[in-house]
Every structure is written in structure tokens, then in C-alpha cells.
Amino acid sequence: MNTARNLASALLSVLLLASLAACAGLAAGYEPAALGAPEGKMSADLADELYAEEMAAPTPVAAASDSSVPRSAGSAEAGSQQPSPARAERARIYSGWCRLVVDQLEQAKKELEQLAVSRGGYVESVNGAVVGLRVPAARFQEAFAAAQKLGEVTGKAIETYDVTDALRDQETRLRLAERARERLYQLLEKNTDVQQRLAILREIRRLTEEIEQVRLTLELLKNQIALSRITVELQQRRPEGEARRAGIPFPWIAALQPLYPSLPRSAGKAVPVLSDDFAVFAKEKRYRAESPEGTRVRVGTTTNSPRADEEFWQKALLFHLGPRYRRAEALEQGEFRGVLFTSKDARPYSYLVAVRVQEELLYVFEAFFPDPEALGRRLATVQGALGGMK
């Protein structure tokens, strides 16, 4: 609610000036300052008025309905019982991940594609041996269970995130911005003062840009609610006893993977400051966050063994993981040193790993960017959050 109130106050500052000028009678030469009322106070009053109008009639949230809320696997009532009204009011995002050992990678990819298409979904991405699927939320449990039958399961996880409040906030921001812009258009038609018309036009342009950004965020959010994501990491079956990443002497580096947490915990309070559209999984022992388009940020800790500094671990990352990627770029941000890896796929993903040593602990910061567009949109924000961590 505070977010919407602050937005309304900011949007109506120029609107108030134009309103005061119009009411005072520009033809009579009446200046706004002659009204004798504190401009800031009146701006706040007008913002409160607009906010009260918006809140007077509650708008139903575009939440997950009975066709978009997965039912628990194995439930006797799955597919037959309608969800309760209380449940239908919540908007949730569901995603699943599993790691499968298979005999034939290419055959497994084809089977996963058929699995998604037959359930009304599609293949979202293929990054090497990692396949991303989108399926209707109502068939998430069914599709996730079917995917696990395609190989030997060595790891799996299901995530649920309630985005009802975030969805409501974005819809309220959009309504307030559109109403404020409409009022500015009306004032523009009535106003003849050149300077005030320029000020109104600048505010209309700024509001239009913000409206488009909020609409894009809403579209991405609603798409995540309607279509659940299933990520399947495929591994070629290897001879018994062969290590997954043979030759890497540091267990935490050998265990790193772009998509899901590999470090067991996060000691301390290392919390990066990201933009508001990142969903933070606050109840876990480690820090994790995800943006609407799939950029993922994680912070974990491990023992600094052997005792070394940030430069040593940066070189170790380059040496051991660099050959697996098309490009590996060393970077330094604040007190962290790391490497930005780019995959060898036709549509590559990017994976940032940065470290910081603090006595006996090694803080490991990870960021996964699903495609070049996500990298271009989020890299500066992620680097800023990395540089600002204490």
C-alpha cells in the first residue's frame, strides 16, 4: 500500500501545479504562489484523494484459478475436486527441477519435448544438457512426475512462491499511473501557458515509459503463474566409479552448477540489494532470489580450505571451469573477485561466480542469466548488488 501511495504522490506533483494554475485563472495573471498554500502539502492531499478513489472498490487479483493451481501428486481427489475459494484467491508460481542420469542424451531431449507438447506446453530452452519446459500449472505435478521416469533421478526439488501481493501492487501502480496520465492529457488541452505545457508533456512521457515497464512486468508475472517451469538437467551415464568432474581438487568448485544451489548453507548475513521485481526465498538458510524472466541469484558459504585469498580462487575458477565454456571473463566488483562464464550453446546462458574471503569462511556469490537478453538487462543490477554487499 505504501508503494502505491508514494507513487501517487510522485506522479501528481506536476499535475497539481497545472491544476492550481488553471483554477487561479491564468487569463487574470494569477500566479500559483499567490494562493498561499504549501505546494507539498496540497500535492500529498491530492495524492491521497486519488489513492482513496482507487482503493474504494477492491479489484480482484488475477490469481491462479482452478485450472492453474497444481494438485498434489498421488492425491485421491486430484483432477476432480475444485479448489476452495480461499485457495483460488492466491496467485502462486510453481517450478520443479530434477537431475537425471540417462543412456542417450539426444533421445531424452526428444522425449522431454514430447512430454511438454502432449500436455499443452512447450520447450522453453535447451542449454547443452539442460532442458527447460513450460507446462500449464494445472498439469505441473503430472508432467514433473513423468519427466522423472525418463532416467535415474539423482536430485530433485519443487519450489512454490506466493506472488499475490506483488501482483496486486503492480496492478495498482498501473491503474494509478494510467489515471494520472489521463488527467494530464485533459489539463494539456485546457492549458495555454508554454512552460506549463512543456512540464506536463515531460511528465506524460515519463508516465508512459513507466506504464510500459509495469505492463511488461505484469505480463511476465502472469505468464509465470499460468505456465509452470520444469528444468531437467541430463547427465550421460558413465562407467561406475568415474567422478562427475574428475580432476577438480576443490569440492565446492566441482559441485557448482548454474541453475540450482550447490552450497549447503549460508553463514552470516550476506544479503545483496536487488530490484523490487526479484522474488526472494526468505525462509531458507541460504539467500536465493529470482526475477520474472529467470535470472537467479544465490549466496552461500563454504570453508576457506586451503586457506587462500580471492585472487587464488578466481584463478582456480578460470582454470577448472573455463574450458567448459565458450568464454570466461575475470572481473572484480567491490571486495569480490569472480568469473563470468558464457556457455557454448547457440543461444548461450551466462553464469557469474564471485568469491570473498572472510577469515575461515569463503562467501560464494552466483548469478545465472538464462539468455543474452537477461544478461543485458540484469548484469548491471547484479554487479551493483555484488559491489554493495557487506
Q: What is the pLDDT of residue 23?
A: 36
Q: What is the pLDDT of residue 170?
A: 87
- Residues 231-285 pLDDT 10s: 999 988 764 434 445 678 998 998 898 887 777 666 556 778 888 888 887 666 6
- CA–CA separation, 361 and 356 (whole Å): 9
Q: What is the pLDDT of residue 59?
A: 46
Which of 260, 233, 234, 257 is closest to 245 using CA atoms? 257
Fold of 244-388: Protein Transport Mog1p; Chain A (3.40.1000)
Range 91-163+225-235 classified under CATH 3.30.70: yes
pLDDT greater at residue 133 or residue 161? 133
Given a cut of 70, is residue 84 above it in pLDDT? no
Domain ranges of the chain: 2-57+165-209, 91-163+225-235, 244-388
- CA–CA separation, 104 and 101 (whole Å): 9
Provide the mean pLDDT of the chain. Answer: 77
- Residues 45-63 pLDDT 10s: 434 555 455 555 444 444 3
Query: What does the pLDDT average to over 184-208?
Result: 89
Name residue 335's amino acid: E
Q: Three-state SS across the chain?
A: CHHHHHHHHHHCHHHHHHHHHHHHCHHHCCCHHHHCCCHHHHHHHHHHHHHHHHHHCCCCCCCCCCCCCCCCCCCCCCCCCCCCHHHHCCCEEEEEEEEEEECCHHHHHHHHHHHHHHCCCEEEEEECCEEEEEEEHHHHHHHHHHHHCCCEEEEEEEEEEECHHHHHHHHHHHHHHHHHHHHHHHHHHHCCCHHHHHHHHHHHHHHHHHHHHHHHHHHHHHHHHHEEEEEEEEEECCCCCCCCCCCCCCHHHHCCCCCCCCCCECCCCCCCCCCCCCEECCCCCCEEEECCCCCEEEEEEEECCCCCCHHHHHHHHHHHHHHHCCEEEEEEECCEEEEEEECCCCCCCEEEEEEEEECCEEEEEEEEECCHHHHHHHHHHHHHHHHHCC
Given a cut of 60, is residue 30 above it in pLDDT? no
Name residue 265's amino acid: R
N-terminal to C-terminal alpha carbon distance within the chain: 30
Q: Are strands 130-136 and 122-127 parallel, antiparallel or unpaired?
A: antiparallel
Chain CA centroid to CA 323, Å: 29
Is there a common fold for 91-163+225-235 and 244-388?
A: no
| φ, ψ at 280 (rounded to 5°) | -100, 125
Q: What is the pLDDT of residue 342?
A: 95
